[in-house]
A = this chain, B = another copy of it.
């Protein structure tokens, strides 16, 4: 069943996110899914293939998400009021959505932690970590500011994204997750005050 393959992927992701790839055995995954380890090999050719499927899934999720947040042609004309936001409001909404995504959505949260645990193993993992969580988002925000003709776009990008990145980690270590979320909201308020455009 195709659903079983999905359950294996999710179970493996949860375990990898906590213990790292080497810290999880094929038996661990099988037990979590509720079958014997031999059965896993009916769905994936080996342990590494499960890991690779997770990465591929994240890439698909990421592309789909990028597509959804790109406005379709003519959408601005059809429902102008929904898009009648200032640049600042757009950036705030984007930041809040991004923070929610990486701290509350199960798959992204687990994927972020998994990548965090694998980033030093080889160049490929390091590149993935940078792309999804470190220099990647930073440069994305900087490009966004550059397109808005904002001065010192990179510096301002650091001021916006660095606290997001820090609060991911603080969120992970908190018993009461809402505290980290509110601290991040206060950061966004503060950021607004030295945002040049309106």
Number of interface residues of A (CB under 8 A): 40
The reply to whether B17 and A170 contact each other, CB–CB distance below 8 Å, is: no
Q: Which of B18, B21, B138 contacts A120 (CB 8 A)?
A: B18
The reply to whether B138 and A173 contact each other, CB–CB distance below 8 Å, is: no
Instruction: Kindly state whether residue A159 has any CB partner on chain B within 8 Å.
Output: yes
Q: How far is the CA of A130 from the CA of B172 in the complex (A)?
A: 9
A162 contacts across to B, CB distance below 8 A = 162-163, 165-166
Q: Which of B135, B163, B166 contacts A170 (CB 8 A)?
A: B135
Secondary structure call for the A interface: helix
A165 contacts across to B, CB distance below 8 A = 162, 165-166, 169
A152 contacts across to B, CB distance below 8 A = 190
A171-184 to B contact mask, C-beta < 8 Å, 1/0 = 01100000000010
Q: Give the copy number.
A: 2
Instruction: Kindly state whether residue A161 has any CB partner on chain B within 8 Å.
Output: yes
Instruction: Kindly state whether residue A93 has any CB partner on chain B within 8 Å.
Output: no
Instruction: Kindly state whether residue A134 has any CB partner on chain B within 8 Å.
Output: yes
A15-40 CB contacts (< 8 Å) to partner B:
17-23
The reply to whether A121 and B23 contact each other, CB–CB distance below 8 Å, is: yes
Instruction: Kindly state whether residue A158 has any CB partner on chain B within 8 Å.
Output: yes
A113 contacts across to B, CB distance below 8 A = 120
The reply to whether A158 and B187 contact each other, CB–CB distance below 8 Å, is: yes
The reply to whether A190 and B120 contact each other, CB–CB distance below 8 Å, is: no
The reply to whether A121 and B18 contact each other, CB–CB distance below 8 Å, is: yes
Q: How far is the CA of A190 from the CA of B158 in the complex (A)?
A: 10
Q: How far is the CA of A171 from the CA of B49 in the complex (A)?
A: 30
The reply to whether A155 and B120 contact each other, CB–CB distance below 8 Å, is: no
A-B contact list, 13 entries, CB within 8 Å: A19-B121, A116-B117, A117-B117, A120-B172, A130-B173, A134-B166, A154-B186, A155-B186, A159-B159, A161-B166, A162-B162, A162-B163, A162-B165
